[in-house]
């Protein structure tokens, strides 16, 4: 049985409509703040692709109005499920922009848990978009993804392992300073810009690093804006796997 849902969010962004459009409607732009590696065919009826951890998801562009409106919809699954995304851009005086995001569709039997996860996730993603536009304007990020199973470990233990490895207090708060020296990678020195019960984010001079912890799994979605080592994703994967083993 399917269940309809709709989530609407608004963000006041420190960039003009053209910059916001590049961030939400192009592959390199989406790579710089959202999830996975992305491709966008720039036309109504075109195809978008997101690849994350070996999983590929396609959607159709249902609206393409540069600087104003961008929308996509995934194919309808056999059980009727689908997801639709609409981004509405409104320029404001002073070079800022209001972005409205509407995420809707049909969810399956576990709709309530999935809906709650989506509802909690969108404020974080829009925060990351804001950080990107404010601190890395005109640059595009290299996405880095890693996932490691945590087995039967309590979520608290996984979070503690992450905070210790990043020289953070167990109760992570915005403004705390993070430091780590992952093998084969440049040192990470930065400031916590987001912290909740499921994730925290660190902004450095050359990247936005996010660390997620859920029952049975730890995830990382990083966006690197400096010279990224070719083996950065493999090195972060080893770091995370060793950490939660």
Phi first, then psi, for residue 31 (nearest 5°) are: -55, -30
Q: Quick one: pLDDT at residue 110?
A: 83
Segment 10-27 mean pLDDT: 98
Reported as a single tens digit per residue, the pLDDT across 32-64 is 999 999 999 999 999 999 999 889 999 999 999
Please tell me whether the overall predicted TM-score, pTM, comes out greater than 0.85 for this model.
yes
Q: Quick one: pLDDT at residue 113?
A: 86
CA–CA separation, 113 and 109 (whole Å): 10
Fold of 142-244: Alpha-D-Glucose-1,6-Bisphosphate; Chain A, domain 4 (3.30.530)
Percent of the chain with pLDDT over 90: 87
Q: Quick one: pLDDT at residue 4?
A: 95
Reported as a single tens digit per residue, the pLDDT across 1-15 is 789 999 999 999 999
Reported as a single tens digit per residue, the pLDDT across 82-141 is 999 999 999 998 899 999 999 999 998 888 888 899 999 999 999 999 999 999 999 999
Q: Quick one: pLDDT at residue 141?
A: 94
Q: Quick one: pLDDT at residue 228?
A: 66
Task: Say whether 142-244 and 3-135 share the same fold.
Answer: yes
Q: Is the pLDDT of residue 230 over 80?
A: no
CA–CA separation, 141 and 155 (whole Å): 29
Q: Is the pLDDT of residue 229 over 90?
A: no
Residue pair 212/218 in contact by the 8 Å Cβ criterion: yes
Q: Quick one: pLDDT at residue 245?
A: 84
- DSSP secondary structure string for all residues of 131-183: HHHHHSTT--PEEEEEEEE-TT--HHHHHHHHHHHTT--SS--TT-EEEE--T
Fold of 3-135: Alpha-D-Glucose-1,6-Bisphosphate; Chain A, domain 4 (3.30.530)
Domain boundaries, the chain: 3-135, 142-244
Residue pair 21/90 in contact by the 8 Å Cβ criterion: no
CA–CA separation, 11 and 132 (whole Å): 13
């Amino acid at each position: 049985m399917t269940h309809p849902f709709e989530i609407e969010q608004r963000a006041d962004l420190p960039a003009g409509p053209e910059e916001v459009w590049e961030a939400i409607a192009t592959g390199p732009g989406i790579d710089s703040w959202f999830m996975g590696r992305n491709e966008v065919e720039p036309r109504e009826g075109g195809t978008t692709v997101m690849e994350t951890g070996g999983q590929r998801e396609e959607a159709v562009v249902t609206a393409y109005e540069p600087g104003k409106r961008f929308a996509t919809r995934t194919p309808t699954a056999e059980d009727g499920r689908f997801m639709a995304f609409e981004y509405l851009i409104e320029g404001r005086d002073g070079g800022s922009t209001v972005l409205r995001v509407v995420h809707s569709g049909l969810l399956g039997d576990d709709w309530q848990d999935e809906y709650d996860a989506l509802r909690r996730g969108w404020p974080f993603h829009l925060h990351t978009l804001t950080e990107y536009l404010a601190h890395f304007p005109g640059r595009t990020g290299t996405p880095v993804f890693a996932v490691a199973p945590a087995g039967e470990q309590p979520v608290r233990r996984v979070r503690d392992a992450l905070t210790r490895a990043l020289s953070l207090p167990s109760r992570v708060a915005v403004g705390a300073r993070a430091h780590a020296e992952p093998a084969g990678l440049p040192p990470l020195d930065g400031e916590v810009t987001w912290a909740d019960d499921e994730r925290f984010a660190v902004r450095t001079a050359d990247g936005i690093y996010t660390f997620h912890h859920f029952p049975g799994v730890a995830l990382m979605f990083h966006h690197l804006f400096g010279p990224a080592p070719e083996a950065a994703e493999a090195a972060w994967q080893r770091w995370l796997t060793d950490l939660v083993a």
